[in-house]
């Protein structure tokens, strides 16, 4: 990330500044090679829009979501309390994250431990930037392309956010083809509830393969996602049905960054 301007909270504090927004990168966005591309795309958009933001850098720890989902409540609370103290120390008010798992945990579960922050998902911020004119998308990187959108569980059913990512996709010159199982009836990619980190239970078909089959039924050339976990699981699903050369998966932020040629 050295070629991209990303200040840390410590650097801003040393300069006597306070960012508008803390960008919570998340474990996937920091360490997973595929998710790092989403992080870079989103940061490029923030810089282009002139948003004053910062990251915690090495001071950011896992939110504790996987620990709680796997049943280790002690580890979750211990991890969360450390993060809350760091965030309070920097007087953070508003947090944006590109991971619905982090979003759900920071927004809905940290308050019970004293962590009261305004938390938004990156698709919501992207919609705000587009609506305010801070970023614009004109013309055609995706003109004529058929795109389908996958609702992640933690953004959709858990937090009722369905329209913001779709409104962002509407700014692209494309046809949005909805899957049969969408919005409140959306199908999980298979990664939620700490399933990302364990072997599948016995069954007839992997759930990510089943979800990909639903996406392919739309005839879409691109599958849009809002979650690094979903991105990885659906990519594996495409490989399972030998369609990874014909259909591409991009996070909503990557689509906007590509359209802007950032």
Could you say which DSSP state residue 23 is in?
E
Domain range spanning residue 201?
137-260
CA end-to-end distance (rounded Å), the chain = 14
In a domain? residue 62: yes
Q: 261 by DSSP, 3-state: which?
A: coil
Residues 119 and 149 in one domain: no
Instruction: Give dist(CA 11, CA 140) in Å, integer.
Output: 38
Q: What is the DSSP string of 57-99?
A: GGG----SHHHHHTT-HHHHHHHHHHHHHHHHHTT--EEEES-
Q: 0.85 exceeded by the pTM?
A: yes
* Cβ atoms of 123 and 252 closer than 8 Å: yes
Instruction: Give dist(CA 103, CA 239) in Å, integer.
Output: 28
* Cβ atoms of 46 and 1 closer than 8 Å: no
User: For residue 172, which of 206, 139, 210 has the smallest C-alpha distance?
Assistant: 139
Residues 92 and 16 in one domain: yes
Instruction: Give dist(CA 164, CA 161) in Å, integer.
Output: 7
Residues 95 and 144 in one domain: no
- pLDDT string in tens for the chain (262-residue length): 667 889 999 999 999 999 999 999 999 999 999 999 999 999 999 999 999 999 999 999 999 999 999 999 999 999 999 999 999 999 999 999 999 999 999 999 999 999 999 999 999 999 999 999 999 987 567 777 899 999 999 999 999 999 999 999 998 877 899 999 999 999 999 998 778 878 888 888 899 999 999 999 999 999 999 999 999 999 999 999 999 999 999 999 999 999 987 7
∠ CA 226-122-158, rounded to 5°: 60
In a domain? residue 161: yes
Residues 120 and 158 in one domain: no
In a domain? residue 213: yes
Last residue of a domain, one of 93, 108, 127: 127
In a domain? residue 132: no
Instruction: Give dist(CA 215, CA 222) in Å, integer.
Output: 9
In a domain? residue 53: yes
In a domain? residue 76: yes
Residue reference for tokens 């989902």: 69
Q: 145 by DSSP, 3-state: which?
A: strand
CATH code for position 39: 3.40.50.1860
Instruction: Give dist(CA 154, CA 102) in Å, integer.
Output: 9
Residues 123 and 185 in one domain: no
In a domain? residue 119: yes
Residues 105 and 157 in one domain: no
The tally of domains found in the chain comes to: 2
Last residue of a domain, one of 95, 127, 159: 127
CATH code for position 182: 3.40.50
Q: Residue 24 corresponds to which tokens in the numbers above?
A: 């919570």
In a domain? residue 180: yes
Last residue of a domain, one of 127, 148, 176: 127
Cα torsion at 85, 86, 91, 95 (round to 10°)?
-110
């Amino acid at each position: 990330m050295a070629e991209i301007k990303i200040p840390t909270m410590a650097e801003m504090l040393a300069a006597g500044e306070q960012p508008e927004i803390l960008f919570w990168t998340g474990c996937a966005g920091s360490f997973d090679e595929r998710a790092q591309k989403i992080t870079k795309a989103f940061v490029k958009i923030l810089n282009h829009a002139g948003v004053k933001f910062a990251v915690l850098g090495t001071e950011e720890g896992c939110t504790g979501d996987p620990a709680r989902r796997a049943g280790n409540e002690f580890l979750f609370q211990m991890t969360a309390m450390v993060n809350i103290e760091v965030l309070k120390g920097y007087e953070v008010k508003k947090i944006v994250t590109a991971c619905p798992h982090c979003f759900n945990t920071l927004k809905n579960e940290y308050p019970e431990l004293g962590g009261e922050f305004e938390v938004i998902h990156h698709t919501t911020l992207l919609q705000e930037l587009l609506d305010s004119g801070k970023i614009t998308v004109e013309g055609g990187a995706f003109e004529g392309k058929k795109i389908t959108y996958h609702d992640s569980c933690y953004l959709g059913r858990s937090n009722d956010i369905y329209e913001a990512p779709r409104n962002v996709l509407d700014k692209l010159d494309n046809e949005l083809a909805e899957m049969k199982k969408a919005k409140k009836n959306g199908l999980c990619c298979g990664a939620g509830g700490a399933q990302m980190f364990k072997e599948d239970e016995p069954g007839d078909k992997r759930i990510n393969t089943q979800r990909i089959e639903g996406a392919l039924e739309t005839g879409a050339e691109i599958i849009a996602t809002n979650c690094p976990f979903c991105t990885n699981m659906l990519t594996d699903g495409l490989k399972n049905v030998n369609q990874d050369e014909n259909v591409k998966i991009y996070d909503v932020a990557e689509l906007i960054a590509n359209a802007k040629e950032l």
